[in-house]
Structure 1
Amino acid sequence: MAETAKPKAAAKPKAETKSLAPKKPAPAAKTASNSKAVVKASPAKGKTENVTAKVKADMNDFKTKATDGAKAAAEKGKERATEAVGSIGKLIRDSAATIDENVGKQYGDYARGAADAVEGFATKLDAKDVDVIAEDARQFVRKSPALAIGAAAAVGFVLARLFRSGGKDS
């Protein structure tokens, strides 16, 4: 008699033991869910290009406004400086007659020559554009930085003295 093979009974699933602690997902599952969250959170490519273009446009607008404001302030400063230098020239010219009487005609001529030079400088300053003046200043600093630093220090010293004396009087 041949033995007939008895089919083996299917294995019964083991009963899971319930734990009181919550189940922790496997580390691979964490990584997969995090990457999905990142993908979901990042905007579409077209949206980032729009935002980038808007930021660039806003920065260009800001730069233009700042440049225009600085240029307007420089124009106003140039006008005031031209008026001040012109006034100094006129003051020197007006005092030339007094110098003629008190010191001599030769020194009065020196004063008139100085007045001509100062007024000529005021005229040149008035005729130049602010951009040209700024470029001239850059070239001056490049050619002789030590002289530029010395001039800046002298101007700073004079301004400091003016502010100190103005503060004590009031």
Structure 2
Amino acid sequence: MADEQDRDTLQHSNPADASPPPADAAFTPAAPLKDAGVDFSPEERATGGGTLADAKQTVRDHVSKGREQAADKARGLAEDGKAKATDALAQLSQLLTDAAGQVDDKLGAQYGQYARSAADRVQGFSSAIDQKSVDDLIADARELVRKSPEVAVGIAAGVGFVVARLLGSAIDQRDA
């Protein structure tokens, strides 16, 4: 019913409703808002609400504070990630050590020794990560990228592939 009323209103409008004002009509701009509801101190009223330099400094202070907060949050997340990574590597090392005995039985002592060697290397890598600070790890990563960017791209592609596979399997298990 409202559509019919709108249609009737549009049909009954005349061209004069949409025509511009005459050329000799006086234009009066709207009055500006006074202070827009902001309560300035007497000093601010006298100086016009502060200077542009004050405003810029305030913005810089807020940006600096935001950067510090973001850096602190990122550092905390990186520390948590480092702890989780070292725990995961320690578990992988233990898994490889446990599997070495089974490999000895099924394939021979030589292959079992390979599994133990891999477990020792993973454990050493886990210890090295655990002993370094997040800043040291970031510096090492930057140095690796500078020295051999192709290796860094390869590592990133490999990690991306593993993460994609893990996420894909997690989604498949959730949907099942």
Q: Which moved more, 1:69-78 or 1:106-115?
A: 106-115
Residue 81 of structure 1 aligns with which residue?
Answer: 85
1:123 aligns with 2:124: no
Question: SS where residue 167 of structure 1 aligns?
Answer: helix
Q: What RMSD in Å do the two structures reach over aligned CA positions?
A: 2.1
Residue-by-residue CA offset, 1:43-93 (whole Å, 9 max, x unaligned): 669622222221111111000000000000000000000000111001101
Cα distance change on mapping 1:54 and 1:87 into 2, 3 Å: same
What is the CA distance between 1:21 and its match in structure 2? 8.9
Alignment partner of 1:59 out of 51, 60, 63: 63
TM-score (norm 1): 0.70
What is the CA distance between 1:137 and its match in structure 2? 0.6
Residue 31 of structure 1 aligns with which residue?
Answer: none
C-alpha separation in 2, matches of 1:50 and 1:85: 52
Alignment of 1:91-170 (within 5 A): 91-170=95-174
Residue 69 of structure 1 aligns with which residue?
Answer: 73
Question: SS where residue 51 of structure 2 aligns?
Answer: helix
1:48 aligns with 2:60: no
Cα distance change on mapping 1:94 and 1:47 into 2, 3 Å: same
Residue 35 of structure 1 aligns with which residue?
Answer: none
Which segments of structure 1 move beyond 4 Å, counting only runs of 4 or more? 43-46
Partner AA of 1:62 in structure 2? G
C-alpha separation in 1, matches of 2:74 and 2:25: 68
C-alpha separation in 2, matches of 1:53 and 1:129: 34
C-alpha separation in 2, matches of 1:70 and 1:132: 15
C-alpha separation in 2, matches of 1:86 and 1:162: 19
Which runs of 5 or more residues in structure 1 are unaligned? 1-19, 23-42
Which runs of 5 or more residues in structure 2 are unaligned? 1-23, 27-46
What is the CA distance between 1:164 and its match in structure 2? 1.9
